[in-house]
Amino acid sequence: MDKKDYKQVQNTLVKFLSKYLEKSTCKGFVVGISGGIDSAVVAKLCKISNPENVNAFLLPTYFSNDENLKDGIKLCSDLNIKYKIINIQNILNNFEETLSGKLDKYSMGNLSARIRMSILYHRSALLNSLVVGTSNKSELMLGYGTIYGDLACALNPIGELYKTEIFEFARFLEIDEKIINKAPSADLWHGQSDESDLGYSYKILDEVLFFIEKNGDNYDLLYEKFKNKELIDNVLSRINRNKFKRQMPKIAEI
């Protein structure tokens, strides 16, 4: 993977945020803070771009890790960002009761993501601000996210950075090492881990994704490079199966 000049990356992304905000005529940014590395990087970029008007929201459930909440609060304090904690467990409980049945963990995870995004958009309207996305390139290529949930946003400054690059960029931005070093997790249920869900580390996945970006998804070329059928099948299946998440809904031609 090509080594990036992260000072240039920072300048480019801050300029992107500033120009988009100016054209939108909105006042500032709204960011969902999870206590993880992606939202920490986005929050820092937003703060640099628009120091006076960044609003962060921490939206835990019963399943959320208390350490992630503490890390998210500390991040906001370190960056001097206004924040609010809104526990969404009662909303989830009401959904379950209305639907007359206990939801499995995947349904609950997707629902949590969509509730969080609904709240972020509600707050963005009240604050005349833009919802800023926190999905990295690895997640977007693999479709590892909830459509109309965490994948929804007005703009996304980190969507062209692979997860392994996010780790490097976070160190450049001097994000707290505790956030950088924790295992990546969407924190959707107890013990949930991104890399366990995906089956491989981000380091391995990013090598395959970067190769596909540069050389296409030819199976023979991929096998010649990585010699791992299970890995290649996993990545290609996720890319193809979740392609719809990266596209606008199809509108019929008349």
> What fold characterizes domain 6-246?
Rossmann fold (3.40.50)
Provide the 3-class DSSP secondary structure of residue 131: strand
197 annotated to a ligand binding site: no
pLDDT tens-digit profile, the chain (254 residues): 778 999 999 999 999 999 999 999 999 999 999 999 999 999 999 999 999 999 999 999 988 999 999 999 999 999 999 999 999 999 999 988 898 777 888 898 999 999 999 999 999 999 999 999 999 999 999 999 999 999 999 999 999 999 999 999 999 999 999 999 998 887 777 777 888 889 999 999 999 999 999 999 999 999 999 999 999 999 999 999 999 999 988 899 99
112 annotated to a ligand binding site: no
User: Which of 111, 68, 74 shows the shortest CA–CA distance to 93?
Assistant: 111
180 annotated to a ligand binding site: no
CB 92 within 8 A of CB 112: yes
| pLDDT for 193 | 84
Return the residue matching tokens 């309207």.
Answer: 125
| pLDDT for 102 | 78
38 annotated to a ligand binding site: yes
12 annotated to a ligand binding site: no
36 annotated to a ligand binding site: yes
| pLDDT for 100 | 76
164 annotated to a ligand binding site: no
| pLDDT for 187 | 76
Q: Is the pTM of this model over 0.85?
A: yes
| pLDDT for 45 | 98
Q: Exposure string (b/e) for 61-72, b if CB count within 10 Å is 16 or more?
A: bebbbeebbebb
166 annotated to a ligand binding site: no
97 annotated to a ligand binding site: no
101 annotated to a ligand binding site: no
CA–CA distance, 131 with 154 (Å, rounded to integer): 5
Q: Exposure string (b/e) for 125-148, b if CB count within 10 Å is 16 or more?
A: eebebbbbbbbbbbbbbbbbbbbe
115 annotated to a ligand binding site: no
Degrees (nearest 5) of the Cα angle 121, 84, 59? 65
| pLDDT for 160 | 97
